[in-house]
Amino acid sequence: MSVLLDGRFRFDNYVVGASNRLAVAAARAVAESPGASYNPLFIYSPSGLGKTHLIGAIGFAAKQLQPDLLVEYVPLDDFVDQLHLAISSGQAEAFKQRYQRVDLLLIDDVQFLTGRRETQSEMLRIFNALQGSGRQIIMASDRPPSEIADVDERLVTRLAGGLIVDIGLPEYETRVAILRNKCAEREMSFADGVLEELARMPCGSVRELQGALNRLAAHEALGERAVTPANVRAIVAAGRVTPDVGRAAPVATDEFAGFISDIAVAVAQHVEGWRVRLGQRIAHWQAAGYRTTMLERALAMNEEPDVDALDATFASGVSRLEQLEAQAVLLDPRLAGLDVFRDPQHIPDAEARVEQAIAAQNPPPGPWPAFTLETMIAGKSNQLALRAAEATIEAPGVRYNPLFVHGGPGVGKTHLVHAVGNALRRKAALSGPVACVSGSQFVDELIAALQDGTVDRWRARYRTAGALIVDDVHALAGKERSQDELFHLFNALHSAGKQVVLASDRPPSEIGELEARLRSRFDGGLVVAIQPPDRTLRESLYVRSLQDRAPDAEPGVAALLAELPVSGAAEVESVVDRVLHAARAAGGAVTLSLVRRELGAGGAATPVSSPAVADKSFLDAEKVVMEWPETDGRVIEELR
């Protein structure tokens, strides 16, 4: 804040007399409601009568009343200096903007506008902007606007357009009041009648009066002789004739200052404009806390780049980062001011961070913990799939990516893929949670997200996954938007080396209404089938089930049950259900005869034993050559 506005100059220490009553009244009105009453307010008086005090008081009082008010005090000389500096450093626009933001502009020593054409036109522009938006301008000068020589006509009319008030010489009473005020302020005291005598002396300004008072104070302090009303005139008059001894011999020409001004000219001439502008932008962004590597690189180039375009690109990057940061802060306030939101060159990193935050807030569904590989019984029909699963767990994302498991209902696909998910989850090397979702759930979630307009967040949940498992992927058939999302998700994870495991009741080639780009991607990894269990596996499954549920069953029951083909482990359970139910109805244990009777009754027509779903992958047109060209004349060896 300018020293002028620090409260030394106030209305309550400004002595009001007949000579300045109007000026003070106007000043108070302006301070109380800036921009409303007299705009601009122009105060003039010969020097030393309190113009500066008055405008300082306006600024201070206005600030007291409205602390948010932007008040700026500037002597015209400083204004000119700032303008020159701004123009030479290419910051003219910033200069203009700075002043156009001010609510209350106080300009002192306006008389120095004389002959400064460029300053005048700049000022005119600023005045127009300020007045246009109802902000207050207050000026002080040692003469009225019409007497300031060589000033643009338009500016004169602007200056004179508000209220012009003058401050006259204070009369005797005011002078006494001023002197008493000063004494009180500085805790000085004089013999009775001294101040009055001093006030009676002719004086050209308050400043002169103050000088005289100072002289009296110095005399009193020296203690040579007491100051009395009788010797006031002598002391003060002596002071006026004595040459000022404080001033040294003629000041030597300041070589250094001259040198500096020459250097300034040289710098202004030789520093390349675009680099200056770019440097300014860099300084600006750095001050705002952004990393400016991108702009700095341009700065180091020899060719002049399009600075504005470059800056615009940077600015758009910054605004994107701001968006991302705001989004992230909503999720987690601790993310505010994170480094990743400070480099417009690495926006994807920031995006990834936001996705992480979203995922952390709302992690994707995981695999069901009950399904583990240990509880799966291996047999001939599923050993290939099991081995593939083990290889996948050992090196996720490396060997079989994606792993596509297919097989009829109840063969244990879901068990297998969830088991893979659980095993992957225990791997420390995985970079994110294991997302495990069924096809229909995936579709439902997408629809819900579309409804709430939170697709971005929904997407982000999955993007951060360390591995993705989609069960019953055939549920996506015919759902274009879901396939689209899965496609992008698949690509994002796959290219990041993350494991994708899919399960379906049929191979990719047989899923109808599946986009070719997805199908080919599913085919690109390992497609492995789980067959309905063979007899051995069936027997193992029955043995385990009976052990758990009917430990007293007659030996050989499992082997007998295993004779009947089933589609999978699920059906094994339902057969056991049926047998147990029959045994309870008969009121006895599970015996071979009971089983035989039950099976006979149920027969092959029982709805439980649907025919096994054959693996039809060999029918894939891509894999099977149906028509052999020119078979004539070829010897087909028949093996016997």
Partner 1 sequence: MSLVNYAAREITCKIVYYGPGRSGKTSNLHYVYNQVPGDRRGSMVSLATQTDRTLFFDFLPLDLGSISGFTTRLQLYTVPGQVYYATTRKLVLQGADGVVFVADSQRRQIDENVESMQDLHANLAEQGVDARNVPLVIQYNKQDLPRELTMDVPELDDVLNFRGVPFHAGDALRGTGVFETLRSISELVLRRLSGAAAPRVAVGQ
- Cα–Cα distance between 46 and 478 in angstroms, integer? 91
10 Å Cβ neighbour count for 498? 24
CB of 254 to partner 1, least distance (A): 8
Q: 218 is written with which tokens?
A: 């110095």
Compose the 593-632 pattern: x for residues touching partner 1 by CB under 8 A, - for all others. Answer: ----------------------------------------
CB of 264 to partner 1, least distance (A): 5
- Is residue 296 involved in binding partner 1 (CB under 8 A)? yes
- The strand pairing partners of 415, in sequence order, are none
Question: By C-beta, is 184 or 283 nearer to partner 1?
Answer: 283
- Cα–Cα distance between 56 and 107 in angstroms, integer? 10
SS3 560: helix
Q: Map the footprint of partner 1 across residues 322-361, applying CB under 8 A.
A: none
Binding range to partner 1, per CB under 8 A, among 138-146, 158-166, 279-287, 629-637: 279-287
Question: By C-beta, is 292 or 609 nearer to partner 1?
Answer: 292
Q: Which of 242, 302, 495, 631 binds partner 1 (CB under 8 A)?
A: 302
CB of 108 to partner 1, least distance (A): 23
Question: By C-beta, is 18 or 94 nearer to partner 1?
Answer: 94
Binding range to partner 1, per CB under 8 A, among 236-244, 294-302, 345-353, 362-370: 294-302
Question: By C-beta, is 278 or 403 nearer to partner 1?
Answer: 278
Q: Give which of 184, 198, 37, 7 is closest to 104, Cα–Cα.
A: 37
Q: Which of 286, 375, 491, 593 binds partner 1 (CB under 8 A)?
A: 286
- Cα–Cα distance between 602 and 607 in angstroms, integer? 9
Q: Give which of 48, 56, 50, 41 is closest to 139, Cα–Cα.
A: 41
Binding range to partner 1, per CB under 8 A, among 43-51, 235-243, 263-271, 439-447: 263-271
Question: By C-beta, is 187 or 255 nearer to partner 1?
Answer: 255
- Is residue 283 involved in binding partner 1 (CB under 8 A)? yes
Amino acid (one-letter) located at 404: F
434-438 β-sheet, strand order: 434-438, 467-471, 499-504, 403-407, 526-530
Q: Which of 268, 373, 376, 559 binds partner 1 (CB under 8 A)?
A: 268
- Is residue 516 involved in binding partner 1 (CB under 8 A)? no
- Is residue 37 involved in binding partner 1 (CB under 8 A)? no
- Is residue 529 involved in binding partner 1 (CB under 8 A)? no
- Strands (DSSP E) contained in 18-124 are 41-44, 71-75, 104-108
CB of 374 to partner 1, least distance (A): 58
Asked if residues 575 and 564 have their Cβ atoms less than 8 Å apart, the reply is: yes
- Cα–Cα distance between 409 and 417 in angstroms, integer? 14
Question: By C-beta, is 282 or 557 nearer to partner 1?
Answer: 282
Amino acid (one-letter) located at 382: N
374-393 per-residue burial string, b: 16 or more CB within 10 A, e: under 16? eebeebebbeebbebbeebb
- Cα–Cα distance between 139 and 392 in angstroms, integer? 82
Q: 233 is written with which tokens?
A: 């005139």
The secondary element (H helix, E strand) that includes residue 500 is strand 499-504
- Is residue 242 involved in binding partner 1 (CB under 8 A)? no
Q: Which of 37, 82, 88, 119 binds partner 1 (CB under 8 A)?
A: 88
Binding range to partner 1, per CB under 8 A, among 61-69, 99-107, 255-263, 607-615: 255-263
> N- to C-terminal Cα distance for the chain?
108
Question: By C-beta, is 342 or 463 nearer to partner 1?
Answer: 342
Residues that bind partner 1 (CB under 8 A): 85, 88-91, 255-256, 258-260, 262-264, 266-272, 275-276, 278-280, 282-283, 286, 292, 296-297, 299-300, 302
